[in-house]
Structure 1
């Protein structure tokens, strides 16, 4: 399957997706150092790319079966200021992605979304922000499943929440 790597960082999602046999058709990352690392690690020749998700136009996005993204956690993380979606601007970039999906015709929408964030996404603002995530995805036609992984067994120790969505 073809996938799009949004908020790509240095390519954690991509590494796993390619190891599973999937093909990356594009990536988006605003941090210049992360981009430089990503481009040094992966063969990105011929792929679509963008620097800032807020400037992406739907007409330029390649078609992909899967969208992978770990939207910014600064407003959600216990290490941050705990602003959540209400007053936090970085973590609200989740809705920038869902707005792009809303603009796509049904036959171009990704079938699967893999979304990653910190464990506190489940409880920030009394759980209301996670409820907003679920409602937003449900309204787009996705069934939502989530789990918290003990990343100490997988990556440097920080618990992460993973959301897997598939169209109904």
Structure 2
């Protein structure tokens, strides 16, 4: 049985591709951000096929046939931190580009990702429109909000996952379930802190240290800071309140520079940001520009969560999975 073919829309730096490659081959990708494209090409050996999804004028000819469509379309239109313009916003309207491809190419299945607030923006109207469009394209639709913590990643990151199967391949009696957790779920504070400790670097560069003023402000903002267990991530919310946790809050592409600090003292390193999204160690990103790294990691997906979804889709489609690249590297079967 052959592996499936998938396309990777709004590909970012390739987190979704990492999750799906054990089950399939990427035959087309699209990403508009220049920095993301550079990182994508560095790690995959090929630049995204198209820079802007709006430039695809002839879907039938320009996009190859594929089994699964993947798309993590821009979320600011739906985020509780954004203007909540939903599908009326230019970025929100990019969903209709996805819908057009589904209508014309009719792949077997799709997986879409966005912020969980998509369900509630505009009193749920945007989400209802999305589901109606997907069903009108000929798909049975399933959705679930997943948290990275439930898949072994010490980051509280909730995202809406929407999966669809073409009606002629739809699971009988709606039997398909999107996995809500993995065997590595971090349920207790002890498990969360252990996972956090495992991903932190031993001797980070001094450039990641926060200013003396910020550190002092953080320590003055909570009671008994010396009693806070280590490691911890100190999160500053929009009201300026500081809360130490045994895991990171959701990484964000745009936020105050000091909204998360390791042990209240330093910013996460670039490698730590990648690890907080579950990226494998072989994945490379230039650590010289912290702002760039924060933007790119904040715009990607928690790989372990998406990998479980990929497995579930593959099983439903009767498609075999293969060893992941990071597993192959660990076994010495693949070299850089």
TM score, norm. by length of structure 2: 0.46
What is aligned with 2:100? 99
Kindly state the Cα deviation for residue 41 of structure 1 after the two structures are TM-superposed: 1.1
Separation in structure 1 between the aligned mates of residue 159 and residue 74 of structure 2, nearest angstrom: 12
Q: Please, which of 41, 44, 52 is the counterpart of residue 43 of structure 2?
A: 41
What is aligned with 1:14? 17
What is aligned with 2:142? 145
Kindly state the Cα deviation for residue 97 of structure 1 after the two structures are TM-superposed: 1.5
Separation in structure 1 between the aligned mates of residue 100 and residue 64 of structure 2, nearest angstrom: 16
Separation in structure 1 between the aligned mates of residue 62 and residue 96 of structure 2, nearest angstrom: 18
Structure 1: which 4+ aligned runs deviate by more than 6 Å? none
- 1:55 aligned onto 2:58: no
Q: Secondary structure at the match of 1:34?
A: helix
Separation in structure 1 between the aligned mates of residue 67 and residue 81 of structure 2, nearest angstrom: 34
Separation in structure 1 between the aligned mates of residue 116 and residue 96 of structure 2, nearest angstrom: 19
Kindly state the Cα deviation for residue 71 of structure 1 after the two structures are TM-superposed: 0.7
Aligned residues: 160
What is aligned with 2:190? none
What is aligned with 2:132? 135
What is aligned with 1:28? 30
* Structure 2 contact 106–166 (Cα < 8 Å) conserved: no
Q: Secondary structure at the match of 2:35?
A: helix
Kindly state the Cα deviation for residue 96 of structure 1 after the two structures are TM-superposed: 1.3
After superposition, residues 50-129 of structure 1 pair within 5 angstroms as: 50-56=50-56, 57-58=58-59, 59-86=61-88, 88-102=89-103, 104=104, 108-129=105-126
What is aligned with 1:157? 156
TM score, norm. by length of structure 1: 0.90
Kindly state the Cα deviation for residue 151 of structure 1 after the two structures are TM-superposed: 2.0
Kindly state the Cα deviation for residue 81 of structure 1 after the two structures are TM-superposed: 1.0
Kindly state the Cα deviation for residue 150 of structure 1 after the two structures are TM-superposed: 1.0
CA RMSD across the alignment: 1.5
Separation in structure 1 between the aligned mates of residue 116 and residue 102 of structure 2, nearest angstrom: 24
Q: Once the two structures are superposed, what CA deviation does each residue of 1:65-119 show, in whole Å capped at 9, x if it has no partner?
A: 0000011111100111111113x110110111112333x2xxx421101000000
Separation in structure 2 between the aligned mates of residue 43 and residue 64 of structure 1, nearest angstrom: 21
Larger radius of gyration: 2
In structure 2, the gaps of 5 or more residues are 168-336
Separation in structure 2 between the aligned mates of residue 124 and residue 152 of structure 1, nearest angstrom: 24
Separation in structure 1 between the aligned mates of residue 116 and residue 52 of structure 2, nearest angstrom: 25
